[in-house]
C-alpha cells in the first residue's frame, strides 16, 4: 500500500502531528525523511528495506556512506544525504555539553555527557574531566586517541591541563570500541598510576568511567580505584 492510500490518521506525517514523534516507529520516521517511494514501493517499504540492510538496523545506517544508502532502488543520493544529516543532528544533540557550570553529582552524570559522544567510536578516546571544588565542570580535555584496542596515556599529559586550570579534582573517561565496558588489566594498571600521580599533585581522581555500547562501568563503584 502506498502512503497516499493509507487512512489519513495512519500516514506518518499526520500521525506525528496527531500523536507526537515518540509514537512513530523507526520505519515511519525514516519514511518522513524519504518523503516518497518509487513506482513499486512506498516510502514505508523503502524505510523497512533500509532497516533490513543489516541486523544492526538504524545503527548500521548511521555508519553508511551516501553511496551505500543510495544503492537501494528508490533512495538516491539526495534522500541518502537527508537521512544521514538527520542522524548526525541527533548525535550532536545527544553529545551536546551540559549547561555551563553543571555540577557533577555522580558517575552517571559523567557517563551521560559522554555516552552518545563515544559509544560508536571505532578508536579509544581518553578524556580528562576537570572540576572545581564545587564539582562544577571547568573543562573536558581529550588527552589521547588510541587504536582499536588501547589508548596510551601518560600522567604528565593527563594532569597538565588540570594543573594549569587549578582543578580541584578530575575524573577520567574512555570508551571501549568492542562495546563492553568491562575494565581491562591495562585500564586498571594505568588508572592506579594516574590516581597515584593525582595524589602527589593534590588533585584527587574521583572516578574512571568506561563507556560501552549503551552502558558504562565505574571503576570507583567496582572498587578498582
Residue 109 CB: number of other CB atoms within 10 A? 16
3-state secondary structure of 27: helix
How far apart, in whole angstroms, are the C-alpha atoms of residue 140 and residue 143? 9
Q: Beta partners for 142?
A: 127
Q: Which residues contact 37 (CB under 8 A, 6 or more apart)?
A: 2, 3, 43, 44, 45, 46, 74
Task: Give the 3-state secondary structure percentages of the chain, helix then strand then coil, rounded to 5.
Answer: 45, 15, 40
Least trusted range by pLDDT, from 34-38, 181-185, 192-196: 34-38
Helices (H), the chain: 12-19, 26-34, 43-51, 58-63, 66-70, 76-95, 107-118, 155-164, 185-201
Q: Which residues contact 33 (CB under 8 A, 6 or more apart)?
A: 79, 82, 83, 86
Mean pLDDT for 38-60 is: 88
pLDDT bracket for residue 152 (50, 70, 90): low
| pLDDT value of position 27 | 92
* Radius of gyration of the chain, Cα coordinates, nearest whole angstrom: 22
pTM of the model: 0.64
Q: Are the beta carbons of 150 and 124 closer than 8 angstroms?
A: yes
| pLDDT value of position 69 | 92
pLDDT bracket for residue 208 (50, 70, 90): very high
How far apart, in whole angstroms, are the C-alpha atoms of residue 10 and residue 15? 6
pLDDT digit string (tens) for 74-132? 899 999 999 999 988 887 776 665 555 667 888 999 998 898 888 888 889 999 999 99
How far apart, in whole angstroms, are the C-alpha atoms of residue 218 and residue 158? 19
Q: What's the grid cell of residue 81?
A: 544525504
Cβ burial, residue 26 (10 Å; 0-12/13-18/19+): middle
Amino acid at each position: 500500500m502506498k502512503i497516499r492510500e493509507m487512512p489519513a490518521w495512519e500516514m506518518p506525517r499526520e500521525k506525528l502531528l496527531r500523536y507526537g514523534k515518540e509514537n512513530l516507529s523507526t520505519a515511519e520516521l525514516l519514511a518522513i525523511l524519504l518523503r516518497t517511494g518509487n513506482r513499486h514501493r512506498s516510502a514505508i517499504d523503502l524505510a523497512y528495506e533500509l532497516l533490513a540492510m543489516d541486523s544492526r538496523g538504524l545503527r548500521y545506517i548511521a555508519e553508511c556512506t551516501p553511496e551505500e544508502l543510495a544503492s537501494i532502488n528508490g533512495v538516491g543520493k539526495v534522500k541518502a544525504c537527508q537521512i544521514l544529516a538527520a542522524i548526525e543532528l541527533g548525535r550532536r544533540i545527544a553529545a551536546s555539553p551540559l549547561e555551563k557550570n553543571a555540577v557533577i553529582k555522580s558517575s552517571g552524570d559523567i557517563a551521560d555527557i559522554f555516552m552518545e559522544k563515544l559509544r560508536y567510536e571505532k578508536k579509544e578516546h581518553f578524556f580528562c574531566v576537570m572540576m572545581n571544588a564545587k564539582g562544577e565542570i571547568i573543562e573536558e580535555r581529550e588527552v589521547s586517541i588510541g587504536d582499536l584496542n588501547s589508548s596510551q596515556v601518560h600522567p604528565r599529559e593527563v594532569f597538565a591541563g588540570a594543573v594549569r586550570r587549578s582543578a580541584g579534582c578530575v575524573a577520567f573517561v574512555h570508551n571501549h570500541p568492542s562495546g563492553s565496558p568491562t575494565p581491562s588489566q591495562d585500564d586498571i594498571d594505568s588508572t592506579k598510576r594516574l590516581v597515584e600521580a593525582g595524589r602527589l599533585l593534590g588533585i584527587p581522581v574521583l572516578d574512571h568511567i568506561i563507556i560501552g555500547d549503551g552502558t558504562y562501568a565505574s571503576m570507583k563503584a567496582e572498587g578498582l580505584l
